[in-house]
Amino acid sequence: MAGSGALALKGIRVLDFTWIHAGPSATRILSDQGAQVIKVESNQALAVVGGPASNTARGLGQRHNWNAGKSSISLNMKTEAGKELARRLVSVSDVVAENFSGRVMPSWGLNYESIRRIRPDIIMLSMSGFGRTGPWKDRVSYGQTLQAWSGFTNLTGFPDTRPSGPASAYSDAVGGMAGAQAVLLALIQRAHTGRGQWIDLSQMESMSTLLGPLALELSVNKNDVQRTGNRQPHGGGAPHGAYRCQGDDRWLAITVFNSEDWDAFVLALGSPSWALEPRFATTESRLEHADGLDKLVEGWTLEQNAEEAMHLLQAAGVAAGVVQTGKDMAENDPHLRERGIFQQVPDAAGVLQTIERAPYKLSRTSGEVTNGAPEFGADQDLVLREILGVDDEELAEMAIAGTFD
């Protein structure tokens, strides 16, 4: 029966010091599967809104998307009282997650060796730009610099243009998924052995794993892979690219790999005379004359509505897809709408906020988010009283000692 089982991470508690995008997206994945994620926040950090677009509609939207379903407490980690409370929270947690530079957690006395003395089976996720070892371990970075440094940006673009790279911090999302995966592996290992471990994650290395055959090309052919635009660097098929359609900035991606694809493509177009020319007779000859073929294909797509052309080609068995905008995906895509990839959840004021659900569905432990990100420090009492058993007198003493930010 679908959705009949308990959530996969029910009973797991995560103490979440992460901020901006990469770390919060990792712990959001854990939260979706039932982990109790306690987000430790500070008025001094951008984590209050979830990203560098401080206190704007975009920033608040990011906060809800990356921190939905979590609890929030505020701690002043500049005070000994704040650090002591953090250590108490470590003692009742299964996972500690952070994505600071290598200097921050040790300065609080919360590096892995320290927290392991508090709880021997703790799992610690450290997500930094370059990892905790190596000559670049202390260098600073954000998404765009990591994408460039990893080699990803150099592969993105056309041969006669500058490197482009994705417009968003793609490396943050990739790092977040890698971080969540690593925590799950560590939890499985702990379930078998009873032992925790430290996860040293490099976001640069997470991006470098997406470079495809670059390392293989260097090792075998001694060649450096160059930008190829929409075409594959190792042959493939033709036509293979994104082609302009009717309307403003409307495009259709088409992929034809072999003769069977080509025959279906030609038939779907009504067998135009140019498609029957000898230069397009074989896969090899189509690759040789790819530039000319692209112009002819775009001559057809320019007269087509992108969505209608996609449906026409797909019905013929040809891989084709509209180059969708964010508006297309959020408002006009019937497939995404039916699968519910975007869902609305209420924030603390009851206002519905749109967030992304997990891009997978488990038949027994599907996971879900029922509310948006918490307001700053909204769960202070819940965490302190119910989890740590703090009473009114101790709570007052903590406030006087400057524990809370």
By annotation, the residues acting in catalysis are 172
**Which has the closest alpha carbon to 95: 42, 29, 142?**
29
* Residues 317, 323, 325, 326, Cα dihedral to 10°: 50
Residues contacting residue 177 through CB under 8 Å, at least 6 positions apart? 25, 26, 29
CA atoms within 13 A on the CB side of 349: 4
Whole-angstrom distance, CA of residue 405 vs CA of residue 401:
11
Q: Exposed/middle/buried for 131, CB within 10 Å: 0-12, 13-18, 19+?
A: middle
Strands 13-16 and 36-41: parallel
Q: Identify each DSSP E strand in 178-335 by its residue range.
A: 198-202, 240-244, 251-255, 319-322
> What is the 3 state secondary structure string of 269-297?
CCCCHHHHCHHHCCHHHHHHCHHHHHHHH
Side chain identity, residue 4: S
Whole-angstrom distance, CA of residue 336 vs CA of residue 177:
21
DSSP three-state, residue 366: coil
> Are the C-beta atoms of residues 117 and 97 closer than 8 Å to each other?
no
Whole-angstrom distance, CA of residue 143 vs CA of residue 23:
12
